[in-house]
């Protein structure tokens, strides 16, 4: 009964007229939107309305305006197209900083030695606290260039998808056992390949931050899928196919890579 009421409320929100001011923000700030089909644009706008009705935003030396909320939400909702979704259910609050911020972190120096201290961050998401942190300048630069391979919003919201099955293991909720086995086989192979390339200094398409662990590998793979799909499909076809099946999207269809001349 609760699920039915929630779905009915969300459908009512989607049926509301979409604010013209929000549409202008998306047009000005979010470059990939114009490349989507009309159907996908309409679906994304509906998801955006639900997302903004359910998530809380807080600013640290940043005023939380409609521009901030809509620019973040439009990018996050790209991950929801074509799939049944519960709108990142473990996320309650998005905290926005103006720029790079410092956070306590442990980083491996060797297998046995870890460095602890403050490190610069553009974003992070906490599985247990229901919160996410984003740097506003990174949000806007990621939205403005949809093919540079870097998008902090896609990265952090990929972590939220990972958390939906209550684990931070680089495997989001998958419908069947067959899908799970295929995912594990491909992702383990691709993750091992990236770690080997990182250790030997071989240039990679995927950000080598993904060699940190399986969760980060999934997040950087999602960035590459949406931002560099042509190159990802050419260099890592099995990885591309897994992400295409999961997201029910072919990101090549709205890729801006050709305009880069890469």
Per-domain residue ranges of the chain: 9-257
Q: Which CATH class is domain 9-257?
A: alpha beta
For the chain, the average pLDDT equals 91
Which pLDDT tens digit goes with each residue over 7-38? Answer: 999 999 999 999 999 999 999 999 999 999 99
Which pLDDT tens digit goes with each residue over 143-181? Answer: 999 999 999 999 999 999 999 988 889 999 998 999 999
Secondary structure letter of residue 118 according to DSSP: E
What sign for the dihedral angle of Cα 233, 237, 238, 244?
Answer: positive
Q: Rounded to the nearest 5°, which phi and psi values hold at 200? A: -100, -5
Average pLDDT over residues 230-235: 97
CA distance 252 to 229: 5
Residue 166 has a pLDDT of 85
Local structure of 245: helix, strand or coil: helix
**pTM (whole model) above 0.85:** yes
In 10 A of CB 119, how many CB atoms? 13
CA distance 9 to 255: 33
Which is it for strands 131-135 and 93-97: parallel, antiparallel or unpaired?
A: parallel
Residue 117 has a pLDDT of 54
């Amino acid at each position: 009964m609760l699920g039915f009421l929630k779905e009915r409320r969300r459908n009512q929100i989607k049926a509301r007229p979409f604010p013209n001011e929000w549409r202008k923000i998306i047009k000005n700030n979010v470059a990939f939107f114009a490349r989507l089909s009309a159907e996908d644009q309409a679906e994304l706008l509906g998801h955006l309305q639900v997302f903004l009705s359910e998530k809380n935003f807080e600013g640290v030396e940043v005023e939380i305006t409609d521009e901030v909320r809509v620019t973040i939400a439009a990018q996050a909702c790209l991950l929801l197209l074509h799939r049944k979704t519960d709108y990142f259910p473990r996320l309650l609050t998005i905290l926005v900083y103006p720029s790079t911020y410092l956070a306590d972190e442990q980083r491996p120096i060797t297998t046995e030695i870890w460095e602890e201290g403050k490190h610069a961050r553009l974003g992070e998401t906490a599985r247990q606290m229901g919160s996410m942190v984003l740097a506003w300048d990174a949000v806007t630069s990621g939205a403005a260039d949809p093919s540079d391979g870097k998008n902090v919003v896609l990265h952090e919201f990929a972590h939220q998808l990972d958390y939906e099955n209550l684990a931070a293991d680089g495997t989001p909720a998958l419908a069947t056992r067959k899908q799970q086995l295929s995912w594990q086989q491909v992702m383990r192979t691709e993750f091992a390949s990236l770690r080997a390339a990182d250790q030997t200094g071989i240039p990679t398409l995927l950000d080598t931050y993904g060699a940190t662990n399986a969760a980060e590998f999934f997040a950087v793979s999602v960035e590459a899928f949406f931002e560099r799909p042509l190159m990802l499909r050419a260099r890592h076809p099995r990885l591309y196919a897994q992400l295409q099946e999961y997201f029910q999207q072919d990101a090549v269809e709205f890729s801006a890579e050709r305009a880069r001349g890469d």
